[in-house]
Every structure is written in C-alpha cells, then in structure tokens.
C-alpha cells in the first residue's frame, strides 16, 4: 500500500537558516530534497560565524519570502527572530518564523510543543498558519538586542554560557546541570534595582529570569506561566539566601524548577522593566550573553508571526 501523501504546503517558498554544524547532515539534506520535490522552493543558507543567521534572515525579508526557518538551537532562533523583530516593518510585512529544532536543549521548541523530529517540524512550518507573538526588546546602553523565549541573569546565566559544546553533545541537557553543580563553590550574588509598572525591588539575588516563553538552561521551567501573546514579561527573582541555606535553595531550583521558584522567588508580570546593576551583569538572551549595568527591557506585542502547533501551551 502506498504511504499517505503529505498535505499540501501553505507556502511556495521558504528560507532555511541552518547552523553550520548541521551542514553535512545527510538526513536533513534528503528532507530538504523531498520538500523541493513536493513543489516548495526551499533555499538554504548555512552559518559560518556570528551574525550570519541575522544577515540571512534580513536577506529573506528583503526578498519577500513568506517563511524563514531557524534550523539550530535556541541561539540560532534568537538571532533569526531578533533580526526580523528589529526591522522597521509591520509584523504582517515580515516573513513568518518557523523552527527546526536541532540544538542541545531546544528550550523554546520543547515548551512550545514543536515536534523534535525534523520532518514533523518542517511539515508544521510549511502547512500551518502563523500566529502573532510578542518579542522582547532589550537596551543596554546604546546596544539593542531582542529575545523571544527567556532571559536569565546570575547563576543560571553562568551555568549556561560556560557549558562546553563538547559536553552538550555528549550529555545533552544533563551538561547544564553538571556545569552548574561545578560552579557551586564559586557562586556569588549580584545586586540589582528593579523598576516596573507597580513593582520595585532592590537587593542581592542569585538568579533572575525574564520570560516571554517558559524554559531555559536545558529544560528548567523558570517562568512556568509565561505566554507568548499576552504583552507581559514574567519576572522571577531568586533573592540570595543566607549562606547556610545556599545549597538547599539551589538544589531545590535544579530538582524542582517551578516548585523551587514558587517557594523562594519574587514573581511579577509587567510590560516593561528597568534593571540597574552597578557592578555589571550579564543577561543571557535565549543563550546569547549581553553585558551591561543598566537595562531597559520591554515587551513589543505581536511583533512577529510564528508557526506553532495547535497544542502549543504558550498562546493565550
């Protein structure tokens, strides 16, 4: 019996922005070939160095392509989404954004219920209608950056940024936990002043999470109630505990994720936030660090259109 045919693609053209380490993936090459044989003009651009993914996304927008796929991990998605969000165009005039999750953690794709199987993820991107989603704009001095999923600061940032690629490839998400555990002896808190609509807090903190999406650092649900389309930023601040309670609090955070934050963290939802850290701070935007001492963070409602599954729990 013949295999059932795939549903017809909704778009006739698309651009796949592919992380360079997947360029030699024979199965992925065959998948793109099948899509082309089905009548879709699927062009591929392979990244070589930082900035390539953003440049390729902008090129696709300038060519008027209806769909851009971010093929890689959360960092690739961040670069593509940020480049599109920064363009001076209405969301309807931008390409829709799809995700081909090929990274280690795939935090955004997992929490958005995007299939882990590349063929299924590609079918979704080509066949489903895009939905409007928020993006988050961050200013640190004169630098403007964007994120789509979660920004973290403090201990979580260090653990994610310092996890070696080889360890990620070997151990997957467990690598983030092991890196975090290895840093226990070098931990120190950061001090920050936070201001938002109806919210002000100042003090020492270990972990900061700013969520448009929900999960970061290899599957930890740091902002478990965040939505992509509500115009709000979910803020979770883990104040620095007394020294004798440090191991207990961080152990709870790693083991229990949501429960750990609910038990120990300050949580608030605001459309924008100002953060000042006099000694400087690195914010990890979807896995990409941004350093500064003063940050202005604002949700831009319905800035992008994304192709997401019906069962995506991140939409209101």
Show Cβ contacts of residue 90 under 8 Å, excluding neighbours closer than 6 positions.
Answer: none
Q: At CA 235, angle to CA 234 and CA 241, rounded to 5? A: 145
Catalytic residues: 288
DSSP secondary structure letters along 157-202: HHHHHTS-HHHHHHHTTHHHHHHHHHTGGG---EEEEEEETTEEEE
Q: Is 37 exposed, middle or buried (0-12, 13-18, 19+ CB in 10 A)?
A: exposed
Burial of 26 (0-12, 13-18, 19+ CB in 10 A): exposed
Pairing of strands 96-101, 67-72: parallel
Q: Tally Cβ neighbours within 10 Å of residue 188.
A: 9
Give counts: helices (H), strands (E), the chain. Answer: 10, 15
Cα(309)–Cα(121) distance, integer angstroms: 9
CA-to-CA distance for 249 and 67, rounded, in angstroms?
Answer: 43
């Amino acid at each position: 019996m013949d295999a059932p045919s795939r549903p017809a693609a909704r778009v006739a053209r698309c651009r796949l922005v592919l992380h360079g380490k997947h360029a030699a993936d024979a199965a992925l090459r065959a998948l793109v070939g099948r899509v082309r044989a089905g009548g879709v003009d699927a062009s591929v651009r392979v990244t070589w160095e930082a900035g390539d993914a953003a440049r390729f996304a902008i090129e696709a927008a300038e060519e008027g392509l209806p769909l851009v796929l971010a093929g890689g991990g959360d960092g690739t998605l961040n670069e593509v989404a940020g480049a599109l969000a920064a363009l001076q165009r209405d969301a309807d005039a931008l390409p829709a954004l799809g995700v081909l999750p090929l990274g280690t953690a795939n935090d955004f794709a997992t929490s958005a219920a995007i299939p882990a199987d590349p063929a299924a993820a590609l079918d979704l991107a080509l066949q489903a209608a895009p939905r409007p989603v928020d993006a988050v704009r961050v200013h640190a001095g004169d630098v403007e950056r964007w994120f789509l999923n979660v920004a973290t600061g403090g201990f979580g940032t260090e653990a994610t940024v310092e996890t070696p690629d080889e360890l990620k490839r070997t151990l997957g998400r467990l690598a983030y936990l092991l890196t975090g555990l290895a840093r226990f002896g070098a931990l120190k808190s950061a001090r920050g002043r936070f201001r938002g609509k109806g919210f002000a807090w100042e003090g020492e903190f270990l972990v900061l999470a700013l969520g448009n999406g929900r999960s970061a650092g290899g599957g930890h649900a740091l902002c478990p109630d965040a939505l992509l389309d509500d115009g709000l930023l979910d803020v979770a601040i883990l104040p620095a505990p007394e020294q004798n309670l440090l191991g207990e609090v961080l152990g709870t955070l790693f083991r229990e994720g949501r429960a750990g934050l609910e038990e120990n963290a300050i949580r608030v939802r605001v459309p924008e936030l100002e953060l000042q850290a006099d000694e400087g701070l690195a914010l990890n935007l979807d896995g990409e660090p941004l350093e500064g001492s003063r940050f202005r963070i604002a949700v831009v409602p319905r800035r992008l259109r994304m192709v997401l599954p019906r069962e995506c729990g991140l939409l209101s």
